[in-house]
Structures are given as structure tokens and as C-alpha cells.
Amino acid sequence: MAADKHPDSVPALLTSLRDLRVTNPKAVRATVHFYPPSVYANNGESSNAAASSSKLRTRKITSWKMTEHMYFNASNPFPTLARGLFTEEIEEDDPLPAEITHSGENEGRPKDRIVARGYDKFFNIDEVEWTNWSKMQVHTQPPYHLTLKSNGCLILISALSPTHLVVASKHSLGTTIESDTPDAVAQAANGIADLSLKNGDKGKKGNEKIDGKDKSNDKQEHEEARAHAEVGREWVRKTLASTGKTEAELAKRLWDGNMTAVLELCDDSFEEHVIATPAHWTGLHLHGLNHNTPHFSTATPVEVTAFAKEFGFIETKYVELQTLDEVKSFTDEVSRTGSWEGDMIEGFVVRCTVKDLGGKVADGKPPYRPGAPFFFKVKFDEPYLLYRQWREITRVMLPLLEKPHPETEAQVWKKVRSKTKRPEVGVYAEWCGQMMQREPELFDNYDKGVVRVRERFLAWTEGDGKITWDEARAGKGKKVLGKVQQVRDKEGLPKKWLLVPVAVPGCGKTLIGVALSKLFGFGHTQSDDVTTKRTAPTFLKNITALLKKEDVVYADRNNHINKHYDELSNLANDKQLKDYNLRLVGIVWDIPSQPYHRLLRVCSERVVARGDNHQTLRPDPTMEAEHEHVVGQFLRNFTSPDPALFDSFIDVKVVDTPREALGKIVDGLVQTLAIERPTEQAIDEALNAAADYKVTTPYHQVAKVGKPIRYFGLAPEIDLTDIVEHALSTVDHPAKESAQAFFDDLKAKTRVTTKPHVTLSHEKNVQTEIEALGEGAPLGPHQILWETCKALAETKYSPIYEFNMTHLAWDDRVMTLALGHFRPLPREVDKAEVGETVPDLEAVLPQETRTYLHVTVGTKTEEIPAFESRGLVKILREAVERGEEEGEADEVVEGGGKVRWVRVGPIQGEGRVRGMF
């Protein structure tokens, strides 16, 4: 870290902050707060607060707020990492703490001072590179103090003068803020002091404009911060009174030490958090005493505990350990129960210091100076994460208390279902829905009743709901949450059934529809038969008309998005069907559970097999393969149906044969519709008749979606999440922890590649080679590879190649799998198209291409290009040639950190060559 990056003097720090505000206004924001005497004058010693207030002035204190996401980059532009920083310009007669006076003897009286300072920003385990356990083994040193992580809101207390306090939340003093408008600034300059919270109308413009930018979100944020600071002041007064101390006494201690007291306000009557605050923990928890200096300096837990006892603050429990291994073992043990010494906790803040490596450069270097405090968080997922999900689900459900229209109620439940991934959350949501009907008062003022509602639910899980809860904990749960009645009660009316294929082109839905019609006499209507520009209205009319005549209708369309499901569900409310009870049965192909490129190949080959026997989509025999791009677009847009819209589902697999699929669907319909099962012979005959079906509607091509081919690649039919999880389970190497942490982060951020590819031949390489060889020269290796790939892509049924994945490589930005050894897998369709011999792809790969063969697992952010994988693979190949099957190397991309690799296989995969853009 450069010496001038984090200046050690206040003048240099303020200069840097002001410069940054001009050069990069998105990085830092300055807000001027008015702190009037009416807020701070009554310090518990003045016999006449009003008289004292008249001699004091309204202070103008600036809070500096850095843009949160930039902290995550060790090379961020901030001149300080303080999170919560307040400064003010010093007037001529203002007293100064002795520490500031002495430090400035050779520089004259300073112009600014730090009024209050929070901690330097710190992070969770593996949230950034330098909080990885292995990195901290290198860069931290004991003692390790594990302090209890309080579950409240941050409060800062510092001295405004030797006798008066300033109390703030993280970024606010809880008073009005200065507007950039000239009138407001002039008013402040004229000494208007009536700007306390009691006169909130004055200075209101300041809530609308900060740093000259209109920000409605800032207004809400400021109002919340005001409330935190105001309640914090009330608790300071209450706490001091309980111990016979005064604000003046506390101010003098903080002034003499030039310190900020850092506390957590835990008060469920003001603001409830996920974990309930027991009575003995309600109040202000003192967990830090920071020096008001640019560089982070903080008191030891022993000193903090003594200070808390002296002034009546709640002490923060801590334990001291001497090694990082002890820290990990201790926190792992506590995390199993989520409680410590009888109390449920969120986690720990671990405090240690940065080790001085004597100038040695080591991976994972933190953005703090040697000897500086190093803080990191260990947060427990359970039960904290589960409780937080319950809270968020409840907030989504609160509109149900207003007894909304059934359509609105259905939309609320639809949102709940979309957020419910765990059975335990589903059971909680069902219970909440029932309680909102039976006991709505339980949810009154929910933001202050989070714990009350949760405790009632947990009591239910120990009693009447125990069986349901135990099943949920075992991974079982209801398939549909919050299913509500139709808009109009239709029980007792004749039933009509709408069969809804949930599919994409090439699944075989029309074949199934025709077969069912032959077998049972069901009605069958196709969207592809509609030739108008907007097909949906006509298709829905056709369904409605057919339902009036038939009891069961097959709605033949690629139903694959929410709009389609909603359209069909809403037919139940159509006036023409008012005398019927319409039920939907979904016939669902397993699109989400299959690798993208396997689905694309299987469905595209079926499009090829049916040839011109289709109204809208016919095979394109060129390397562009337009029909594949159409299928791919459907796959990318696919959304699973909302279970609440359907009476039942029948599940089939895309890779099922037509006979297998039809058999499953017949069995499902027999059970759902309570109809007699036909014989196996009848099923076979219906399928044979369906296979002879010919379209009669004229061909009307859909709009083109593909683009010109820029390169050829292998399309791996693999699920990278499964592949990497399996690979890591077999690794026995110290670097495994780093790989697992990076991969877990990719999964959490949904950054694992779902449509992987292996680049083989790019048109740029071919063009460069042609220009280098000259006109009339024999084909070069890149041209030969291009022509080979082109021939494979234009084959009616593309050959499948097997390959090996041998190594996993990663840095702090990207993860990739190295692969090679292509070999064809024999298929009967290959022989019909290319003869007995499938081209040897491996033999035509140029050495350069072979070196870089890889598939990118994922990148940390969208901004990081997958192309960076090439650098990692090059390092890996060179190391393997030297016999280093596992190891690490220096970074290849700025900010990427060490490159690491481990052997993982070989793990086999398969795919085909296709044109890509």
C-alpha cells in the first residue's frame, strides 16, 4: 500500500477526500449536518440549559460516505477505509483535544478535525480475497479476540467539546442537512440555529438534494438514519442516568482520549432484527473505542470492557485465542447450534493485527498497514439465514391482511412461491397464511413483531405442526403453496380439462397431441395453425370454442413463459365458459433439469427428422442452422410453470422415446381424469397413426433469430455445477479450500456458466492465416480445422465427441476446466451420414488450439470476460509439461491474484461441433 494512499494527517486526508469528490463523485459523498445547541446543550451539568444554549452555536459537521461496493476492491480509490467518518472545520476559538494540539505543534493550528470515526470496513469469511482462512494464516497475527456480533444498529458517540457530546448513527447525526441551494446556505451562515428535529420543516430541501443530486432513496435513508441517531441519544441519556453519570463526564473522557465510542443499539421496541434481543441485552452495547485519527487505531477489549463498566454500557462478551486454527475450530463448533453460553447469536467479529512480512509480497494481502487492526466477521447461516427468509416472506404476505380481491391474493402467493426455495420456508408461509385469516392481529406492526410471530410459529412446530415441520426438515414439502379458490366458486359445475404441454420446439408435443386425440377423442388445437400476425388471441379463441364442444382439449403450443400459463389459466374466467369448472393439467417436459446443449441437440435433431412437415419451423441445412437458434431462444426464455395455476402435473423427459412419453402421459391422465386405461396395443396404434400426421396449414416462417457464424466450438452436454462439485469432492490438496470458496461464490451469485462452449476455430484466426500464407497457398492448419468443423456442423445428425476434463484452474476472477483428447462416440445416425469413419477432430487441431482447450466454469462478475481463462490454461499447460500436476503461479491478470490448479480426473464429457456467434 503506497504511503500516500492512506494519509496519516487530517489535512492530507481531507484534501484527498475533497479531491476525490470532484474527480470521482460516484465514489464518495459528503453531507453537511446542522447540529444545533437544542440537541447537545443539556449535558447534565448546566443548571440552565436554555441559558447555556444561547452561548453555543449550531455546528456544521460533515459525514463522508464511501460507495459500498468499492470497498471490496483492495485497490479502491478511497484515502481512508473508515465506515462512518465525521469531520468539521475548526473555528478560531474552538478548543482542541490535547492529542491534536501536540501533534500540530510544528504545523500551526489545524483547520479541520475528525469529530467521530467508525471502524475500517471489514468483511465476512471469503467475502474478499484477504478474508480467506488460508490467506489470513499468512497475513494476521495473535492475539485473536472473538467479540460477540451484536444484532442491532450502529451508534457512534464522541465529544463535540470537553463538556458536550455528539451522537450519530453510521452516516447521520439525526438532524437536518444542508441543501446546496443558495438560500439554505445563506440561512445557515446567518446563524439560524432552529434546525433541530423538532423543526423538521426547515432544511427539508436538504433531504431532497445531496451533493447536488436528486436522490429520493437518499431521503428515505436519511430519515431512517435520523431515527437511529435520535433514539441513540435517548439511550445515551437513559444509560448515563442509570449509573449516576453525566454527558459532560462522558464527553471529558472521550475528549481527553480523542476517541469515538462505537456501540450497537439493540432495542426490539424500536427496531426488531432477525434474532430477538433478550431483556438483559436490550440497550447500548459498547464494543469499540476508536482514536479519531486517519489511520485506524482502536482500544483492546480489556480497555473497552472497563470503559463500559464505568459508564453503564452493556459489555461485549469476548474470548481470546492464540491461533487462527483455534478461531476456526471454535466458530465451527458454535455454528452447529447457533448459540453461545445459552444465547442465540448471529456470529463473531474477530479482531487481530496485520503481520509485518518485512516487505515480502504474499498473495491475499489486506488493504491495511502492517501492525494495523485487522477485523473480520464469522456469521452463522443457521438459524440466522432461515429466520431472515421467514421475515422477508412475511413482509411479502402482509397485503393478505387487507383481504384483497382474489386476483390480488393470487399474485401475492405467486410472489411467495417464487421466493420459496426451502421446504422450511414453505411450511412457514402456509402457517402465516392461515394465521392471517384466523388471528390477523398477530401481525400488527410487524416490523416490531418479527420475533413475536416467529416464536408463535416455532411453538406450533413443537405441537400441532410437528409432523409437517419434521417432513420439511427432511426435505419434503407441499408442491403448491397458497392455492386459493378461483375468482368465482365453480364447485359443482361440470368439469372441463385443458391439457397444457409445457415444452419447446422438438419435444414432440404435437405428436403427443395427435396420439391423445386418436386414443381418447380429445379436442386438439395448434397455435402453429394460426397465420395471423398476433397468434395468441386467435389461439385462445380456438381453445374456448373447442372447450364448449369437448370435455378435454389439448392446447398445442410451446407454452414456456409465465404469459402463456396466465393466458390459459384466465380462460376459466371467460364468459363463454361460465357454466363450467375448467381445470388445467400440465404435461411438463424436464427442461430445467437437462444440460442446455443436450436439450438443444435432441430437440434440434427432432426438428431435422420431421423435415418440412411443420407449419413454421423447418431445418436449415447450412452451418448457420437457423432452426437451432430458434430452439435455443425458447430454451433461454423457458420459465417453469406456477403450480398454483394447475390442478396437476404429468412429468416426462425430453430424452424419452415417443412411446415412453406417451405411456407416462396416458398413466397420468387415467389417474387425474378418472378414465379407463387403454390397452398397450391401442396406445401403439394411436402413436403409429400420429406418426403419419401431415400438416395442412401453409408454411409461414417465423422471424430469423440467428446471426452470422463467427466461430466453431464444441457444445459440451454437461452440467458444470455437477462436474465441479464432483471434481472437488475427489481433490486432496491444500488449495481445495480456495477452489471451493471461489466456486461457492459463483453458485451464490448464479455465475456458473449454464451454456458452456469450447472454442475450436475462429474466423479471425483463419483470415490471419490466409493473409500470412498468401493467395494460392495450400490450406493452413486453421483453414483445415475450419473446413472440418463446417462439414461436421452441416452434417444432418452431428457426430458426438467424447473428451476428458483433466485439471481445474482458478484465480480470484475466473475458474476454468482444462480439457482435451477428443474421440468420436459411435452412433447409428453417424454412419448413415458420414460413413463408417467419423473425422478425427483431435488430429486436425493446431498445437495452439490444443494448448488453450478449456471450458470456463464462471467469472466472478459480469465485467470479467471469459477470455481470461486462456491465460490460466496456458500457465497450467506449461506447468504440467514440467511435471507439476498441481500448484500455483503469479497472477496473469491485474487483480487476479495467484493462479492455482489441481488435477481432477480425467472426468469425461461429450458434445458436438456447431457454429456459434
Give the pLDDT confidence of 489-532 residue by residue, as tens digits. Answer: 577 899 999 999 999 999 999 999 999 999 999 999 999 999 98
Lowest mean pLDDT, pick from 241-245, 481-485, 712-716, 811-815: 481-485
In this prediction, residues 8-37 reach a mean pLDDT of 91
pLDDT(203) > 60: no
CATH number for the 711-916 domain, one of 3.90.1740, 1.10.3470, 3.30.70, 3.10.290?
A: 3.90.1740
What is the tens place of the pLDDT at every residue in 227-259?
778 888 999 999 999 999 999 999 999 999 999
**Between residues 92 and 421, the one the model is more confident about:** 92
Domain boundaries, the chain: 384-470, 495-691, 711-916
Given a cut of 50, is residue 180 above it in pLDDT?
no
CB 769 within 8 A of CB 780: yes
Give yes or no for residue 298 having a pLDDT over 90: yes
What pLDDT, on a 0 to 100 scale, did the predictor assign at position 225? 55
With 70 as the cut, is the pLDDT of residue 436 above it?
A: yes
Residue 590 has which C-alpha cell? 424436464
Distance CA 699, CA 719 (A): 36
Alpha carbons 367 and 375: distance in angstroms, whole number: 12
pLDDT in tens, 769-823: 999 998 889 999 999 999 999 999 999 898 999 999 999 999 999 999 999 899 9
Q: With respect to CATH, is domain 495-691 assigned 3.30.450.70? A: no
Dihedral angle, C-alpha 88, 92, 94, 96, nearest 10 °: 80
pLDDT in tens, 115-167: 999 999 998 887 788 898 888 999 999 999 999 987 778 999 999 999 999 99
User: Which of 137, 150, 148 minimizes the C-alpha distance to 331?
Assistant: 148
pLDDT of residue 838: 82
Place of cell 500448484: 887
Query: What is the residue-wise DSSP string for 613-634?
Result: -SSS-----STT-HHHHHHHHH
Model pTM? 0.54
Cα dihedral 173/178/184/185 (nearest 10): 110
Q: What integer pLDDT is reported at residue 543 of this predicted model? A: 96
Q: How confident is the model at residue 277 (pLDDT cuts 50, 70, 90)?
A: low
pLDDT at 138: 92
711-916: same fold as 495-691? Answer: no
Q: How much is the mean pLDDT over the chain? A: 85
Helices (H), 716-862: 720-729, 736-748, 763-773, 781-793, 828-834, 847-851
State yes or no: pLDDT of 856 exceeds 70. yes
ω into residue 383 within 30 of 0, thus cis? yes
Instruction: Give 759's pLDDT tier (boundaries 50, 70, 90).
Output: very high
Give me the residues paired with residue 209 across strands: 214
